[in-house]
Structure 1
């Protein structure tokens, strides 16, 4: 079901790109939204409603269907709208995650160049049908770490200071794409770790399950600002230490 929903979202987003795009800022200039974001979200929600009418559905662009149980779907029709709106050939994806009271249960992520990642709790993670495994064995000073800090995140309590700590200690900091896709790349061993403050659930849950099912850890650190950290346990521990 997650794969079918994410395919519908990606198809809707790809088709919408053939028409003129109207982008507008949601809060800060670097946080864009287009009509295609809602169209892609609606396409995924339609697939889920048809198959699972009792499940709750929550989407970034306003989908909010009440459910009758503990199962909740989180949708991001287009993660990486800045890249999408600027017609970059890559740099955006669609993401779907099913969550219950125990956490993420199933997920699917599909990017703009046709790579698809999926996972189910206890069943492992795959990328284009191949089993995913995180990369291990690197210390933090050697690691390629994905960190995303935007204007609205930098003003959160302690974020600027902790961002500088991470910059000082990590081998290489990268912002390689949308957060969900970067988490998929951690699961695939293309990045070593991922850290971000104040992550929305539709950005966190899809990639977090990919990482854990690929042998890593996805941890939420509560404090004056909530941080989300993913990667092998050794790097997660090292990054969390910088937050305290």
Structure 2
């Protein structure tokens, strides 16, 4: 009896539910249709928005990369073109003056090179900041800074020695990003950027694979200050017995390029200026090497940092460049030579 009653009740409920559906149908159908229309549209819009967001990020990255590549191409062309013109002046009589000391020379060709490079940059990049060795300064209104050495190794240029170069380094947001350097007498064009790596005459180069300090060929240079030169000579007493040999060419930018292409294993020098280091910093960094700075705080206390940009270098900084295998060993050797001299 109870079972039949339950079945009967269920039939009554089903009949009423069907009647209810028939009554609601005219009202429900438009809403169902609208829901079926909106749901795919919403999903499509969400996908579109995500795609647009991703595309914006990609476009931003491409824009940044493109800017660095544009700068590398411009800097390379300027360095090579001006360098070839400078080469034509070798052997001619020059008006030679000195700056900080009798060994710190400058000629009218340094000044001509600086003006020519600056004019090129301003014509192509009028909003960039430009800082040059011989005093030219152009204020900028963006995040790009050029550091220019119109002839790095002027004494070499005067004597017709190959160890001079035209050096252009570029910082973006206070970080070294691009470098171009041309060595006229060797016809070597070095260029570097994050996407490009480091090249010499268009071919990728890398830092030395040497790992042992006693097999290391180290380049260095001497300060223009006679007092510092004497100290540097004494420091070599503690360095020479621990390495394969020392090379002293007379151009810091040239030496850094030599580290980048494995022509020497490492480099260090005291008292360089930002324009001496900027281009070479990019060359070494994007050839797989490292550039570090050593600053003496007190008598035997030293601060060692990875170089972010050459603009932070002071006149008392020791700049060191080498592969990741050698950099710590070379830094330690130099600090020990400072404390033992």
> TM-score normalized by structure 1?
0.91
Structure (1/2) with the larger strand percentage: 1
SS of 2:329's partner is helix
Q: Is the 8 A contact 1:12 1:43 kept in 2?
A: no
1:123 to partner: Cα distance? 2.8
Q: What is the CA-CA distance between 1:27 and the residue it aligns to?
A: 2.0
Contact 2:220 2:255 in 1 (8 A): no
Q: What corresponds to 2:175 in structure 1? A: 103
Partner Cα separation in structure 2 for residue 182 and residue 106 of structure 1: 17
Q: Distance between the aligned counterparts of 2:200 and 2:227, measured in 1?
A: 33
Deviations 1:80-121 (A, max 9, x none): 111111233x22110101112342111110012211000012
Gaps of 5+ in 2: 1-73, 298-315, 337-341
* CA displacement at 1:30 relative to structure 2: 1.9
CA RMSD of aligned residues (A): 2.1
Given the alignment, which residue of 166, 170, 188 partners 2:239? 166
CA contact 1:95–1:110 (8 Å) conserved in 2: yes
Q: Secondary structure at the match of 2:93?
A: coil
- Quote the residue 1:179 is aligned against: 252
User: Where in structure 1 are there 5+ consecutive unaligned residues?
Assistant: none
> Which string of whole-angstrom CA distances, capped at 9 and with x for unpartnered residues, describes residues 13-36 of structure 1?
234446421212212222111000
Aligned to 1:123: 196
SS in 1 for 2:263: coil
1:14-33 equivalent positions in 2, closer than 5 A:
14-17=87-90, 19-33=92-106
Q: Is the 8 A contact 2:151 2:164 kept in 1?
A: yes
Residue 97 (structure 2) pairs with residue 6 (structure 1): no
**Counterparts of 1:223 and 1:19, CA distance in 2:** 43
* Structure number with higher helix proportion: 2
1:96–1:108 contact (8 Å) kept in structure 2: yes
Does residue 93 in structure 1 map to residue 165 in structure 2?
A: yes
- SS of 2:296's equivalent in the other structure is coil
> Counterpart of 2:155?
82
- Normalised by the length of structure 2, the TM-score is 0.66
Aligned residues: 243
Measured after TM superposition, the shift of residue 197 of structure 1 is 0.9
Which of these two proteins has the greater Rg computed from alpha carbons? 2
